[in-house]
Amino acid sequence: MIPFIGLKIGSHTFEYDISSSFFDSIEYSIIHEANVHVDLVLEKKETMMIGNFSCEGEVSTYCDRCNDPLNVPVKGSFQLIFKLSTQNSDDESLIILPPEAYELDVTPYIYELITVSLPFRKIHPEGECNEEMVEQLHQYLVNDEDEDEDWDDEDWDDEDWDEDDFDDDIDDDFDDNDTPDDDDIDPRWSILKNLN
């Protein structure tokens, strides 16, 4: 918690060393061990605070392929704006605090920073996955990766497609002079015809 009421106007730096105990209190955390350093530069202004968060370190999560523990380096940063107000905001980078607030809990924002810094796909290097687990998982897959590989870009031959044939099909189905019968028009749309 940062008691921002007592802070002077200007920039203030806070440093946090994030370890495994940080994630113990977070329900359904995808990270279970960590050694991450987080810097927060909080700039206090008259009507708001601007927080620049940055992190660098390593976390232990789970491999997307074999589900075994995996150490992943993380490095990232983002900026959030904190404002005391009674009005809601749709801006994800603007955090609204109640007017009576006097301290700032940065825990959820540090967790978000670390998790969004994880790579999109978290897998062991080639040959380091638990192959026994991979085989077990493949038995329960509804769509095996091999099935997805059956479709190949080479299966689509541009020469098989003739643009003239496509145009002819359209012309056969619809003539520019054709207009739908009033009976074919949804009554809700027919009301709109009279708006002009």
Q: What percent of the chain has pLDDT over 90?
A: 30
Q: Give the three-state DSSP class for 104.
A: strand
User: Binning pLDDT at 50, 70 and 90, where does residue 148 land?
Assistant: very low
Instruction: For residue 182, give the H/E element and its range.
Output: none
11 phi, psi to nearest 5 deg: -95, 140
The structure tokens listed for 34 are: 């960590």
Q: Give the three-state DSSP class for 192.
A: helix
**What's the Cα-to-Cα distance from 107 to each of 2, 50, 159, 176, 189, rounded to whole Å?**
10, 16, 58, 63, 52
pLDDT at 159: 53
Cα–Cα distance for residue pair 105/98, rounded to 1 Å: 13
Please indicate whether residue 54 or residue 136 has the higher confidence score (pLDDT): 54
Q: Which of 104, 13, 108 is nearest to 52 (CA)?
A: 13
With 90 as the cut, is the pLDDT of residue 18 above it?
A: yes
Cα–Cα distance for residue pair 102/66, rounded to 1 Å: 45
Cα–Cα distance for residue pair 119/31, rounded to 1 Å: 13
With 80 as the cut, is the pLDDT of residue 170 above it?
A: no
**pLDDT tens-digit map of 21-39:** 898 888 888 888 899 999 9
Q: What percent of the chain has pLDDT over 70?
A: 71
pLDDT at 42: 94
Q: Give the three-state DSSP class for 18.
A: strand
With 90 as the cut, is the pLDDT of residue 111 above it?
A: yes
pLDDT at 141: 67
With 80 as the cut, is the pLDDT of residue 110 above it?
A: yes
pLDDT at 68: 86
pLDDT at 58: 94
pLDDT at 147: 44
Cα–Cα distance for residue pair 106/22, rounded to 1 Å: 12
- Alpha-helix runs per DSSP H in 119-162: 131-139, 145-149
**pLDDT tens-digit map of 44-91:** 998 889 999 999 999 998 888 888 888 999 999 999 999 988 888 788
Cα–Cα distance for residue pair 37/35, rounded to 1 Å: 7
Q: What is the mean pLDDT of residues 6-19?
A: 92
Beta-carbon neighbour count of residue 177 at 10 Å?
A: 5
pTM of the model: 0.65
* pLDDT mean across residues, the chain: 79
Cα–Cα distance for residue pair 94/113, rounded to 1 Å: 15
